[in-house]
Structure 1
Amino acid sequence: MTTPELHLQPNCLDASDLDHTPFYCEENVYFLCKKLCSSGIADAHGSDLFVLFISNENKQIPLWHQKASNRADGVILWDYHVICVQRKKDGGTHLVWDLDSSLTFPCPLATYVSETVRPSFQLFSEFKRFFRVVHAPLFLHHFASDRRHMKDSEGNWTAHPPPYEPIVAEDGSVHNLNEYMEIHAGDVLMNLPQDLTSAVLGQKHGVVIGEAQLEELFSRIA
């Protein structure tokens, strides 16, 4: 299995240095997390990293400042999207690593929320965004994808796949992407629990929150 080749300077990572396969954001983030850990930019075990799946029941989520957009404001309607958030302790600025974003890389979480999610923008209910927050060590251990979701009914690719072999989980699973990307309104926590840290860090599929809870969640995780 060959993996993306990267060229890094100490504590420096540029989006152009990363192999990026359009429409395979979950795999892009998987290898991004591994590189952040191995390069020393993140904790070696990824304890400060979180993988966020963004979607809803209708598989229609608008996000701004996306490179794939043909509009000046960069808005695009994804069926789902995946990003990485690095939580900084001791009052540091939490960072968003989004390989599909035209904003700075990485981007401060508060800036990303205001510019890309735009919670103040009034959307119809069918476009409401939900976030599945998964601790990176759990994601890197359990995630698998054989890319079946990128083939049409006749078995043809809807988007050209990455050059490396599909990701197989450490437990041998070959495909469980649907367990992460399927997000329903009923999954959303109405209020963040008191034991939020154990809920996020201890559950294979993390927790699902609304966009208004995003910044609060990262401020409360111990």
Structure 2
Amino acid sequence: MTTSTLEQSKLDVSHFNHTPFYCEENVYFLCKQLCGNGVADAEGSDLFVIFISNEKRQIPLWHQKASRRADGVILWDYHVICIQRKSSGDPLVWDLDSTLSFPSSLAPYVSETIRPSFQLFSEYRRFFRIVHAPLFLRCFASDRRHMKEPDGTWTAEPPIHKPIVAEDGTKHNLNEYLEIRPADVISNASSGSIKDAVFTQKLGVVVNENQLEEFFSQLP
């Protein structure tokens, strides 16, 4: 296997763990794999986990594999992706559920998937919780309770791996990451204190769809 073939194999979407409807767990293991295979920093310092949702839990995204429409649009309750920000080059989006290139550069991903210029009713506006991957990998936990009906049956078949438990023993805190309100949105995406907060706060910071690219362009 040549070096270029080896590098390409690291980026083949089929080589990453993916269980439909469990995007938060998929991204958790995506981050670990990118750190482990050398595509990202070993500690994940160049990776950020992005929770996309709103108060109504109704967010339209385009070019999604689960869609049955030609334009790939689907209404998720929430979605989770990873953005990689290196010291040089464009930020990269790792979205295991997207039909776009894997990974995609941030600008075209926003244009094609988020479509901020598309006029939406207020209840469909998307907000983005940006969490630094090292914090996410230490603190995130999910016992998958949100995927069970009242009678205990699964709404979608769960991953074969065990539920994710945080380093401190917490078994479930997904709801904390998904509580995204307009009031949480930062006022200035280029503020130094805001950029510092994403590296220190467990739940990161929240931006709107017009601030996402600016936020990553301002990171050191």
TM range, normalised to the smaller chain? Answer: over 0.9
* Match for residue 42 of structure 2 among 44, 62, 65: 44
Query: 1:66-87: CA deviations, max 9, x gaps?
Result: 0000000000000000000000
Letter of the 2:154 partner, please give it: W
SS across alignment from 1:67? coil
1:218 and 2:216 correspond = yes
Q: Which ranges of structure 1 fall in alignment gaps of 5 or more residues?
A: 1-7
Once the two structures are TM-superposed, the CA of residue 181 in structure 1 deviates from its matched residue by 1.2
Name the residue aligned to 2:23.
25
Question: 1:66–1:76: 8 Å Cα contact kept in structure 2?
Answer: yes
Query: 1:18-73: CA deviations, max 9, x gaps?
Result: 22100000000000000000000000000000000000000000000000000000
SS across alignment from 1:199? helix
1:157 and 2:154 correspond = yes
Identity in percent: 69
* Match for residue 34 of structure 1 among 18, 32, 35: 32
1:93 and 2:90 correspond = yes
Provide the C-alpha distance between the structure 1 equivalents of 2:125 and 2:179, rounded to a whole number of angstroms: 14
Name the residue aligned to 2:106.
109
Q: Which ranges of structure 2 fall in alignment gaps of 5 or more residues?
A: none
Question: 1:145–1:177: 8 Å Cα contact kept in structure 2?
Answer: yes
Letter of the 1:113 partner, please give it: V
Question: 2:17–2:29: 8 Å Cα contact kept in structure 1?
Answer: no
Provide the C-alpha distance between the structure 1 equivalents of 2:6 and 2:165, rounded to a whole number of angstroms: 29
Letter of the 2:218 partner, please give it: R
Letter of the 1:23 partner, please give it: F
Give the TM-score taking structure 2 as reference length: 0.95
Further displaced range: 192-201 or 175-184: 192-201
Query: 1:162-187: CA deviations, max 9, x gaps?
Result: 00110011111100000101111111
Provide the C-alpha distance between the structure 2 equivalents of 1:87 and 1:175, rounded to a whole number of angstroms: 28
Once the two structures are TM-superposed, the CA of residue 221 in structure 1 deviates from its matched residue by 1.3
SS across alignment from 2:211? helix
Once the two structures are TM-superposed, the CA of residue 197 in structure 1 deviates from its matched residue by 2.4
Name the residue aligned to 1:147.
144
Provide the C-alpha distance between the structure 1 equivalents of 2:117 and 2:7, rounded to a whole number of angstroms: 37
* Match for residue 61 of structure 2 among 57, 63, 69: 63
Q: After the TM superposition, which parts of structure 1 deviate over 4 Å for at least 4 consecutive aligned residues?
A: none
Aligned-residue CA RMSD (Å): 1.1
